[in-house]
Structure 1
Amino acid sequence: MSGMAVSRPDHPSLLPALLAAPDPTDRVPRSARDWAVDIACFVLAMLFGCLMLVATSQGTHPPHHPPWLPDVMIGALGCLALWGRRRRPVELAVALGVLGTVSVTTSGAACIALFTVSVHRHFRTVVLVAGVHLLTGAIYALLFPDPRESFWFAIIWNVMVVAAIVASGMFVRARRQLILSLRERALRAEAEQQLRVAQARHQERARIAREMHDVLAHRISLLSVHAGALEFRPDAPPDEIAKAAGVIRASAHQALQDLREVIGVLRDDASGDTPERPQPNLGDLPTLIDESRRAGMTVTYENRLRDADAIPTALGRSAYRTVQEALTNARKHAPNATVTVVVDGSAGADLTVEVRNPLVNAASGIPGSGTGLIGLAERALLSGGRLEHGPTSDGEFRVRASLPWRGETTPAGASNGATPP
Structure 2
Amino acid sequence: MTTTGEARAEGLSGPWWWVRWRSAVLDGTLALLSAVECGVEGVPFARDAGIPVAAGVVFGVLAGSTLLLRRMWPIAVVLVSVAISPAQMGVLLTVVGLYTLAASELPRRIIAALAGMSLVGTLVVTFVRAQQDMTRGEVSNLGDWFVPFISITASLGVTAPPLLLGLYVGARRRLMESLRERADSLEQELQLLAERAEERAEWARNEERTRIAREMHDVVAHRVSLMVVHAAALQAVARKDPEKAVKNAALVGDMGRQALTELREMLGVLRSGDGGAGRREGASVPLAAVGAAAAAAASRAVVDEDGAVGDGPCLSELDELIGQSAAAGMVVDLSVEGEARLYAPEVEQTAYRVVQEALTNVHKHAAGAKTHVRLAHRVSEIAMQVENEPSPEASSASSARLPSGGNGLVGMRERVVGLGGVFVCGPTDAGGFRVSAVIPAS
Alignment partner, residue 360 of structure 1: 391
Partner letter of residue 380 of structure 2? A
Say if 1:175 and 1:108 are closer, same or farther in 2 by CA, change over 3 A.
farther
Task: Tell me, in whole angstroms, the C-alpha distance in 1 between the residues paired with 2:255 and 2:35.
Answer: 99
* 1:28 CA displacement: 0.6
Say if 1:108 and 1:339 are closer, same or farther in 2 by CA, change over 3 A.
farther
Kindly indicate whether the alpha-carbon contact (under 8 Å) linking 1:358 and 1:396 is maintained by their aligned counterparts in 2.
yes
Kindly indicate whether the alpha-carbon contact (under 8 Å) linking 1:299 and 1:340 is maintained by their aligned counterparts in 2.
yes
Alignment partner, residue 125 of structure 2: 146
Kindly indicate whether the alpha-carbon contact (under 8 Å) linking 2:102 and 2:164 is maintained by their aligned counterparts in 1.
no
Alignment partner, residue 262 of structure 2: 258
Kindly indicate whether the alpha-carbon contact (under 8 Å) linking 1:114 and 1:166 is maintained by their aligned counterparts in 2.
no
TM-score (norm. length: structure 2): 0.63
Kindly indicate whether the alpha-carbon contact (under 8 Å) linking 1:94 and 1:132 is maintained by their aligned counterparts in 2.
no
Listed one character per residue, the Cα deviations across residues 85-143 of structure 1 (whole Å, up to 9, x for unaligned) are xxxxxxx733454345446445677678668864xxxxxxx549x94896698489769
User: Is the counterpart of residue 295 in structure 1 residue 335 in structure 2?
Assistant: no
Alignment partner, residue 316 of structure 2: 283
> Which 10-residue stretch deviates more, 295-304 or 164-173?
164-173
**Counterpart of 1:356 in 2: which secondary structure?**
strand
Alignment partner, residue 351 of structure 1: 382
* 1:45 CA displacement: 8.8
Task: Tell me, in whole angstroms, the C-alpha distance in 1 between the residues paired with 2:183 and 2:101.
Answer: 23
**Counterpart of 1:341 in 2: which secondary structure?**
strand
User: Is the counterpart of residue 319 in structure 1 residue 351 in structure 2?
Assistant: yes
Partner letter of residue 291 of structure 1? Q
Say if 1:306 and 1:159 are closer, same or farther in 2 by CA, change over 3 A.
same
**Counterpart of 2:126 in 1: which secondary structure?**
coil
User: Is the counterpart of residue 217 in structure 1 residue 221 in structure 2?
Assistant: yes
* 1:47 CA displacement: 7.0
Q: Which has the higher helix share?
A: 2
Task: Tell me, in whole angstroms, the C-alpha distance in 1 between the residues paired with 2:357 and 2:178.
Answer: 63
**Counterpart of 2:385 in 1: which secondary structure?**
strand
Partner letter of residue 438 of structure 2? S
Partner letter of residue 329 of structure 2? G
Listed one character per residue, the Cα deviations across residues 178-209 of structure 1 (whole Å, up to 9, x for unaligned) are 33333334444444444444444333332222
* 1:254 CA displacement: 1.8
Match of 1:340 among 353, 364, 372: 372
Kindly indicate whether the alpha-carbon contact (under 8 Å) linking 2:98 and 2:159 is maintained by their aligned counterparts in 1.
no
**Counterpart of 1:260 in 2: which secondary structure?**
helix
Partner letter of residue 220 of structure 2? L
Kindly indicate whether the alpha-carbon contact (under 8 Å) linking 1:319 and 1:353 is maintained by their aligned counterparts in 2.
yes
Task: Tell me, in whole angstroms, the C-alpha distance in 2 between the residues paired with 1:29 and 1:94.
Answer: 19
* 1:74 CA displacement: 4.7
Kindly indicate whether the alpha-carbon contact (under 8 Å) linking 1:101 and 1:136 is maintained by their aligned counterparts in 2.
no
Give aligned pairs, total.
353
Say if 1:113 and 1:176 are closer, same or farther in 2 by CA, change over 3 A.
farther
Q: Which has the larger radius of gyration?
A: 2
Alignment partner, residue 337 of structure 2: 304
* 1:217 CA displacement: 1.2
**Counterpart of 1:340 in 2: which secondary structure?**
strand
Kindly indicate whether the alpha-carbon contact (under 8 Å) linking 1:45 and 1:108 is maintained by their aligned counterparts in 2.
no
Alignment partner, residue 173 of structure 1: 177
Alignment partner, residue 419 of structure 1: none
**Counterpart of 1:250 in 2: which secondary structure?**
helix
Alignment partner, residue 250 of structure 2: 246
> Which ranges in structure 2 are unaligned for 5 or more consecutive residues?
14-19, 50-55, 82-89, 128-150, 275-285, 301-311
**Counterpart of 2:71 in 1: which secondary structure?**
helix
Task: Tell me, in whole angstroms, the C-alpha distance in 2 between the residues paired with 1:335 and 1:113.
Answer: 94
| Percentage of pairs with the same residue | 27
Say if 1:116 and 1:321 are closer, same or farther in 2 by CA, change over 3 A.
farther
Within-5 A mapping of 1:26-175:
27-29=9-11, 39=22, 68-71=60-63, 73-75=65-67, 78=68, 93-95=71-73, 97-102=75-80, 104=90, 105=92, 118=105, 126-127=106-107, 131=110, 138=117, 146-148=125-127, 164-175=168-179
Kindly indicate whether the alpha-carbon contact (under 8 Å) linking 1:302 and 1:341 is maintained by their aligned counterparts in 2.
yes
Say if 1:361 and 1:299 are closer, same or farther in 2 by CA, change over 3 A.
closer
Say if 1:300 and 1:284 are closer, same or farther in 2 by CA, change over 3 A.
same
Say if 1:164 and 1:211 are closer, same or farther in 2 by CA, change over 3 A.
same
Match of 1:226 among 225, 230, 238: 230
* 1:242 CA displacement: 3.5
Alignment partner, residue 376 of structure 1: 412
Kindly indicate whether the alpha-carbon contact (under 8 Å) linking 1:392 and 1:398 is maintained by their aligned counterparts in 2.
yes
Kindly indicate whether the alpha-carbon contact (under 8 Å) linking 2:103 and 2:171 is maintained by their aligned counterparts in 1.
no
Task: Tell me, in whole angstroms, the C-alpha distance in 2 between the residues paired with 1:319 and 1:95.
Answer: 82
Task: Tell me, in whole angstroms, the C-alpha distance in 2 between the residues paired with 1:115 and 1:288.
Answer: 88
Task: Tell me, in whole angstroms, the C-alpha distance in 1 between the residues paired with 2:430 and 2:60.
Answer: 114
Say if 1:182 and 1:112 are closer, same or farther in 2 by CA, change over 3 A.
farther
TM-score (norm. length: structure 1): 0.66
